[in-house]
A = this chain, B = another copy of it.
């Protein structure tokens, strides 16, 4: 990696918590200079615009969030356990980049404008839900989850409930909403899971 590349990466890492905490519009050049320890020219030698820096900072923060929440269970062996662990990690772990979930923050700010950021966060949501759908589809094929389960619906309910509860918990400054979301989603997955097979009772043994 060249010195220029290292500097570029450091600027992204330093700018990420500023954008994730204050938002794109709320992050001033002064905030970015103070976080990076660079002057305006030192930052914009590496980025064409504030929007380009914000887009890279979003990718960085989102990658950190995905890594922080990644389950240790093998998604190819137990899809239900993998989904439950993802939910638990979302609820209990705080990603390395401060300010809450980058996907939620950036989606809300970019949904009415800012096309570069909007495209990045749309892609992130699409990849995340597609990953959850793949896990559900495989779990159905392996008869861990009921046939007729809608993978897209499961992905939507997990993402929407977690992100909505995170909004509530951050506003309420306590974790009750996230814990309630966790219990609800575990119960939801338990109802979709195929119970371990029992020995069939015969009339004689009844």
- Does A156 contact B181, Cβ atoms closer than 8 Å? yes
Do most interface residues of chain A lie in helix, strand or loop, or is the interface mixed?
Answer: helix
Q: How far apart are the CA atoms of A125 and B104 in the complex, in Å?
A: 18
Q: How far apart are the CA atoms of A76 and B167 in the complex, in Å?
A: 29
Q: CB-CB contacts of A91-126 with B at 8 A, as 1s and 0s?
A: 000000001100011011101110000100110010
Residue in contact with A184 in the complex, picked from B122, B157, B172, B176, CB distance below 8 Å: B157
Q: Which B residue's beta carbon lies closest to that of A121? A: B171
Q: Which of A168-201 contact B (CB under 8 A)?
A: 168, 170-172, 176-177, 180-181, 183-184, 188
Task: For residue A170, give the distance in angstroms from its CB to the closest CB of chain B.
Answer: 4
Q: Which of A74-101 contact B (CB under 8 A)?
A: 99-100
Decide if A163 is an interface residue (CB 8 Å cutoff): yes
Copies in the complex: 2
Task: For residue A163, give the distance in angstroms from its CB to the closest CB of chain B.
Answer: 4
Q: Which B residue's beta carbon lies closest to that of A181? A: B160
Chain B residues lying within 8 Å of A176, measured Cβ to Cβ, are 152, 156
Decide if A143 is an interface residue (CB 8 Å cutoff): no
Give 8 pairs: A residue, B residue, CB < 8 Å, sorted on A. Answer: A21-B113, A104-B108, A111-B167, A111-B170, A153-B184, A156-B176, A156-B177, A163-B163
Knowing that A22-B113, A105-B108, A160-B163 touch, tell me 9 more A-B residue pairs with CB under 8 angstroms: A23-B26, A107-B168, A107-B170, A150-B180, A156-B168, A156-B177, A156-B181, A160-B165, A161-B161
